[in-house]
Amino acid sequence: MIVGLLHRLSEKLPRVVHRISVMMKPQVVFVLGGPGAGKGTQCARIVENYSYTHLSAGDLLREERSRKGSEFGQLIDSYIKEGKIVPVEITINLLKKAMEETMKVDEKKFRFLIDGFPRNQDNLQGWNTVMDGKADVKFVLFFDCGNEVCIDRCLERGKSSGRTDDNRESLEKRIQTYLQSTRPIIEQYEKQGKVRTIDASRSVDEVFADVKNILDKEG
């Protein structure tokens, strides 16, 4: 009898495992830090070494800006040049769609690094409203880096990035937006014990060694 039971169980197991993975809620790590702190660089490293999908709010907005027929192209363009935070309805829909499409293609891809989000209170409220119960935020990876280092890196990146906001004028505004709007969000998560802070002013390898330590423990 026991042998029969085990046999039937082993037949059903693959279907049960399949169903559990279909039901997996997206597991999210928010990635925050100043402009040029190295968020994108470290996310690329993480994707190479762990089963995460990288979604950059900035990249998704730039894609939407250049999508033919987008009703938001001009609005996004002016916000990005001004270093201002694009209205959350646009950003959250792009993120939600990207997460859904990723999981539709491969249901095992339910771990996401959401880079450059939430950047302000509006972003956070939008996330809580739209994604409540639909995704788990595991923690926030905070790449902590002084403003001068951030500015220098972006100016260097600006020599080849073609980005409209990697210039001193936009950068001053982006740093202000970061200090006034994003830091308070990081502090809120800090109070919940959800922030993993990394000194991002060191070399890419040194920073990644710390990232690895965190992800190996709780990723």
Q: Residue 38 gets which letter from DSSP? A: S
> Contact 73/64 with Cβ under 8 angstroms?
yes
> Contact 118/130 with Cβ under 8 angstroms?
no
By beta-carbon proximity to ligand ADP, the closer residue of 37 and 76 is 37
Considering only residues 35, 38, 158, 219, which one is a binding residue for ligand AMP as defined by CB under 6 A? 35
Cis peptide before 118 (omega within 30 of 0): yes
**Where does the chain show beta strands of DSSP type E?**
27-33, 53-56, 111-115, 136-144, 195-199
What gap in Å lies between CA 42 and CA 53, rounded to an integer? Answer: 13
Selection from ligand AMP, ligand ADP, none that 91 binds (CB < 5 to 8 A by kind) is: ligand AMP
> Contact 212/168 with Cβ under 8 angstroms?
no
Selection from ligand ADP, ligand AMP, none that 85 binds (CB < 5 to 8 A by kind) is: ligand AMP
**Among 38-46, 80-88, 126-134, 190-198, which window interacts with ligand ADP (CB under 6 A)?**
38-46
φ, ψ for residue 179, nearest 5 deg: -65, -45
Q: Rule CB under 6 A: is residue 38 a binding residue for ligand ADP?
A: yes
By beta-carbon proximity to ligand ADP, the closer residue of 152 and 218 is 152
Q: Indicate the annotated binding residues for CMP.
A: 123
Which residues would be at the binding site for ligand AMP (CB under 6 A)?
Answer: 35, 57-58, 61, 79-80, 83-86, 91, 116-117, 119, 123, 165, 174
Q: Which residues are annotated as a binding site for ATP?
A: 36-41, 157, 202
Binding interface with ligand ADP (CB under 6 A): 33, 35-41, 153, 156-157, 203-204, 207
